[in-house]
């Protein structure tokens, strides 16, 4: 019977033991011996290079979690199932690069759900990496507000630059902008100067016109 080699990496030994307990399922070998053998063979992390799938268990995605994911991607061939208590903070483009196939919430996770995710990760096709990363990065930029309706060639503006440009478009002067945004007048002037320099614009009127043509206002 073909076995699926799995390794479990966790930020602490308790999480590691818990997942190993969840994923350990047995099935009857029908080859004639009648022997019960594990469908999924759990290998220690030191045998990462032999694993088909790695389950990474953590509270959240932090520096330590990213370090584990990078190590798996670099030194092994395993596809990764990520189990998290907190899903916030997951960097999707990095997850794709690290061959993360699926992300599961730890709360309420059953053994059968985890085993199914492991089997699917091992046998399912990998998406074309470069295309997936490109599309996911674009989506990520849109979600972060860095891309505007003008498309990928639109100027990339910070939230305070957009707020300042909107007020300039309304005809506000430096003092009025400072009062509305709770900045000092010097800060407003510095933001304007940086914006003009970065986008190679002549003055405030030019900046507003440029932003409107690009579709960011």
Domain at 4-143: CATH architecture: 3-Layer(aba) Sandwich (3.40)
Give the pLDDT confidence score for residue 46 in this predicted structure. 86
- Looking at residue 41, its pLDDT comes to 85
Q: Enumerate the CATH 1.10.10.10 domain ranges in the chain, comma separated.
A: 159-214
Residue 152: predicted pLDDT:
47
CB within 8 Å of 50: residues ≥ 6 apart? 5, 43
Q: What angle do CA 65, 50, 112 make, to 5 degrees?
A: 65
- Give the start-end residues of each E strand in the chain: 4-10, 26-28, 36-38, 40-43, 53-58, 79-84, 100-105
Cite the residue boundaries of each domain of the chain with CATH code 3.40.50.2300: 4-143
- Determine the pLDDT at residue 189: 92
Q: What's 159-214's CATH class? A: mainly alpha
- 85-129 pLDDT, tens digit per residue, is 876 666 666 777 788 888 888 877 888 888 888 888 888 766 555
Rg (CA), the chain: 25
Query: Which residue ranges of the chain lie beneath pLDDT 70?
Result: 1, 25-38, 87-93, 125-155, 215-217
Q: Which helix (H) or strand (E) holds 207?
A: helix 204-214
């Amino acid at each position: 019977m073909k076995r699926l080699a799995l390794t479990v990496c966790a930020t602490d030994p308790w999480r590691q033991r818990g997942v190993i307990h969840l994923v350990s399922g047995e099935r009857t070998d029908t080859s004639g011996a009648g022997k019960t053998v594990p469908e999924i063979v759990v290998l220690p992390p030191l045998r990462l290079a032999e694993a088909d799938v790695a389950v990474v268990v953590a509270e959240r995605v932090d520096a330590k979690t990213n370090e584990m994911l990078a190590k798996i991607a670099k030194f092994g061939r395993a596809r990764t199932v990520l189990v998290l208590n907190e899903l916030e903070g997951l960097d999707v483009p990095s997850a794709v690069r690290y061959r993360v196939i699926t992300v599961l919430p730890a709360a309420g996770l059953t053994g059968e759900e985890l085993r199914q995710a492991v089997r699917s990760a091992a046998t399912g096709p990998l998406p074309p990496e470069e295309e997936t990363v490109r599309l996911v990065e674009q989506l990520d930029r849109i979600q972060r507000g860095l891309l505007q309706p003008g498309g990928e060639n639109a100027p990339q503006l910070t939230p305070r630059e957009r707020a300042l440009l909107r007020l300039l478009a309304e005809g506000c002067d430096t003092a009025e902008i400072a009062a509305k945004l709770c900045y000092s007048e010097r800060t407003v002037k510095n933001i304007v100067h940086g914006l003009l320099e970065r986008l190679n614009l002549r003055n405030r009127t030019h900046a507003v016109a440029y932003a409107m043509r690009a579709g960011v206002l």
